[in-house]
Amino acid sequence: MRDEPLQSRDASSRPPTRPATVVTGASSGIGRALAQVIAREGGPIVLIGRSPEGLSAAAAEVRKAGGEPFVLELDLSLIDAPQKIEDFVAAHGLFCDVLVNSAGYGLRGAAATLPIEDQLGIVDLNIRALTDLTLRLISGMAARRRGGVINLSSVAGALPGPYMALYYASKAFVRSFSLALHQELAPSGVTVTCVAPGPVRTRFLDRAGAGTAGLFRILPELDADDVAEQAWRGFKSGKRLIVPGISAKLTTLAASLIPSAAMLPLVGRLQLKGGDPCPCGSGKKFRKCCGASRFQRRRSAS
Ligand SMILES: NC(=O)c1ccc[n+]([C@@H]2O[C@H](COP(=O)([O-])OP(=O)(O)OC[C@H]3O[C@@H](n4cnc5c(N)ncnc54)[C@H](OP(=O)(O)O)[C@@H]3O)[C@@H](O)[C@H]2O)c1
């Protein structure tokens, strides 16, 4: 594992020579599974995340699968993180041939009651860091006429998500951005693939508070390894969009057919639980405040 401090390398004296895969969100879940799948083809893989334990476990898996791991412990929500990644890659005599943007998180709850900083963190990580990194690296790919980007969107990117508003909106951005880039870069031989799964068995749902409520609860969970296999296969065959799992495909189709006037209340109902803080900011539970009539109706119906 190469995880020396940057200062120990002189980037200017070592022209980048070897193609590498750069994976964000490599310490856990889908990113970690993708790193393992890609490692089977050999070559350097730069693993990025914050958790040292997750990263060193991922590095061991990559080495075992046949790849050469390089670990970069980094908080991607910091404004200078993409520059640090570029510097790290160059300092190790590498260039980014394939970029996997998997780092991301969501939060379930009413936008009016969730902490603003935590919601803006979704914009910083899921949108800004992904965009900055992609824009920095695609020009080199286009000039070399090879490589590409795998971006993790979600089934949530296909529709607006009341009570998980920032997350759904961030994934809609990733989807739109990735599909447009796919079109722009295809003539230069660079592939941009958007991966939009339904629920996947990782730490994500619990971290988002979506493990017990929401659209993610009613759809069957996929395995991260299966999603990674499908994503890598799809990327290698130049696909623009991969929607793993039949339920995610059906949800995406329904989102395009059902009018917003019907879809939004349905998703809202799935996403807000009676015990959640009321969106009106009263500090009371939703079922005891603005949702009282809905829960009374349910009780009298049963
Ligand atoms: N699981 C699902 O149901 C699902 C469904 C559709 C789409 N997705 C998308 O798939 C992607 C991967 O999610 P997952 O399911 O694999 O979740 P996960 O297991 O929670 O992994 C998230 C990854 O993001 C990294 N990360 C989070 N905040 C970071 C930060 N500030 N700086 C650097 N790294 C950060 C985490 O690393 P550290 O904690 O080490 O920093 C971890 O490696 C996300 O973009 C998610 O939106 C997930």
| Bridge partner residues of 242 (DSSP) | 195
Which tens digits make up the pLDDT trace of 38-88?
Answer: 999 999 999 999 999 999 999 999 999 999 999 999 999 999 999 999 999
Does the pLDDT of residue 5 top 70, yes or no? no
Q: 1 pLDDT band (50/70/90 cuts)?
A: very low
Q: Which amino acid is at 53?
A: E
* Ligand 1 atom at minimum distance from 32 CA: 43
Beta carbons of 292 and 282 less than 8 angstroms apart: no
DSSP secondary-structure letter at 128?
Answer: I
**How far apart, in whole angstroms, are the C-alpha atoms of residue 62 and residue 205?**
25
Residues 6+ apart with CB under 8 A from 181: 134, 138, 149, 192
Which tens digits make up the pLDDT trace of 41-55?
Answer: 999 999 999 999 999
Angle (deg, nearest 10), helices 224-236 and 29-39: 50
Pocket-testing residue among 28, 166, 173, ligand 1, by greatest number of atoms within 8 A of Cβ = 28
Average pLDDT of 80-99? 97
Please tell me the predicted confidence (pLDDT) of residue 142. 98
**How far apart, in whole angstroms, are the C-alpha atoms of residue 108 and residue 167?**
8
Q: How far is the CA of 293 from the centre of ligand 1 (A)?
A: 37
* Ligand 1 pocket, residue 75 CB under 6 Å: yes
Q: How far is the CA of 24 from the centre of ligand 1 (A)?
A: 9
| Known active-site residue 167 | yes
Q: Percent of the chain scored above 90 by pLDDT?
A: 78
Does the pLDDT of residue 14 top 70, yes or no? no
Would you tell me how many other CB atoms lie within 10 Å of the CB of residue 198?
A: 25
Q: 216 pLDDT band (50/70/90 cuts)?
A: confident
**How far apart, in whole angstroms, are the C-alpha atoms of residue 46 and residue 69?**
6
Does the pLDDT of residue 213 top 80, yes or no? no
H runs (alpha helix) in 103-259: 116-122, 130-144, 165-185, 204-208, 215-218, 224-236, 246-257
Q: How far is the CA of 107 from the centre of ligand 1 (A)?
A: 12
pTM, two decimals, is 0.92
Q: By C-alpha distance, which of 4, 162, 28, 36 is closest to 103?
A: 28
Lowest mean pLDDT: which of 109-118, 119-128, 203-212? 203-212
DSSP secondary-structure letter at 258?
Answer: S
Please tell me the predicted confidence (pLDDT) of residue 263. 94
What SS3 class is residue 161? coil
Q: 302 pLDDT band (50/70/90 cuts)?
A: low
Q: What is the mean pLDDT of the chain?
A: 91
**How far apart, in whole angstroms, are the C-alpha atoms of residue 103 and residue 169?**
16
CATH classification for the domain delimited by 6-273, as one of 3.40.190.10, 3.40.50.300, 3.40.50.720, 1.10.630.10:
3.40.50.720
Q: Quick one: which H or E segment has residue 246?
A: helix 246-257
Residues 6+ apart with CB under 8 A from 79: none
- Where do the structural domains in the chain lie, given as residue ranges? 6-273, 274-302
Average pLDDT of 14-23? 85
**What six digits make up the tokens of 82?**
């993409």
Longest Cα–Cα distance in the chain = 76
Q: 4 pLDDT band (50/70/90 cuts)?
A: very low
**How far apart, in whole angstroms, are the C-alpha atoms of residue 152 and residue 24?**
10
Higher pLDDT, 84 or 210: 84
Protein residue with its CA nearest to atom 37 in ligand 1? 49
Average pLDDT of 186-192? 97
| Bridge partner residues of 69 (DSSP) | 45
Average pLDDT of 92-100? 98
